[in-house]
Amino acid sequence: MKRFTQAILTAALCSSLPALADATDAVARGRYLVEVADCNGCHTAGFAESGGAVPEADRLTGMNVGFSGPWGVSYPANLRLSAAGMSERDWLARARAGGLPPMPWPALKAMSDTDLRAIYAYLRALGPAGVAAPGALPPGAPIPTAHFVFVPQPPTRVASAAGKH
């Protein structure tokens, strides 16, 4: 009987290994996609300024530095809290719904469901951390935080080299 129980337990354990490997692969794929899509560039405070030298444990927690333009002001979300607070199905729907600039929503919409699920798996593996980013502001509203201004400027006049004496 002891051998039979061991055989059953071994079979059960081995049958769950592919699922475990799939989950591990999804997290690794999600980490890769986050890196190549430069999600940390906006969604991790201090990432750009430090040349990416932010510990993984502190990444993707959003920023309170806004992006201001004709749409109003938008803030990079805390993706870890977002993923922790929604199901995978809701995550896919949110990614497909789009939102405010400068988030590259068309690029996100072009990702496969498999890629979006991998990003979700990675964010869930990181776990919730930090606080929610400020909510978006409508055009003309006072901006209580530091912000980048995305408003096209007219070209500056440059003297031509041929015209100089």
Q: Which residue has the tokens 């919730």?
A: 128
pTM metric for this prediction: 0.80
- Does residue 9 form part of some domain? no
- Does residue 38 form part of some domain? yes
Confidence of residue 24 (pLDDT cuts 50, 70, 90): confident
What's the residue count for the chain? 165
- Does residue 144 form part of some domain? yes
Q: What are the DSSP calls for the chain, one per residue?
A: -HHHHHHHHHHHHHHHHHHHHHHHHHHHHHHHHHHHTTTHHHHBTTTTTTTT-S-GGGTT-B-S-EEEETTEEE----HHHHHHTS-HHHHHHHHHH--STTS-HHHHHHS-HHHHHHHHHHHHHH---S-PPPPPB-TT----S-EEE----PPPP---TTT--
- Does residue 14 form part of some domain? no
Domain containing 143 equals: 22-149
- Does residue 130 form part of some domain? yes
pLDDT confidence of residue 2: 60
- Does residue 72 form part of some domain? yes
pLDDT confidence of residue 37: 97
Q: For residue 144, say if its preceding peptide bond is cis, omega within 30 degrees of 0.
A: no
- Does residue 155 form part of some domain? no
Centre a 10 Å sphere on the Cβ of residue 124 and count the other Cβ atoms it contains: 18
Residue percentage of the chain with pLDDT more than 90: 78
Confidence of residue 10 (pLDDT cuts 50, 70, 90): very low
pLDDT confidence of residue 165: 54
- Does residue 7 form part of some domain? no
Could you give the number of structural domains in the chain?
1
- Among 87, 67, 92, which residue's Cα sits nearest to residue 77? 67
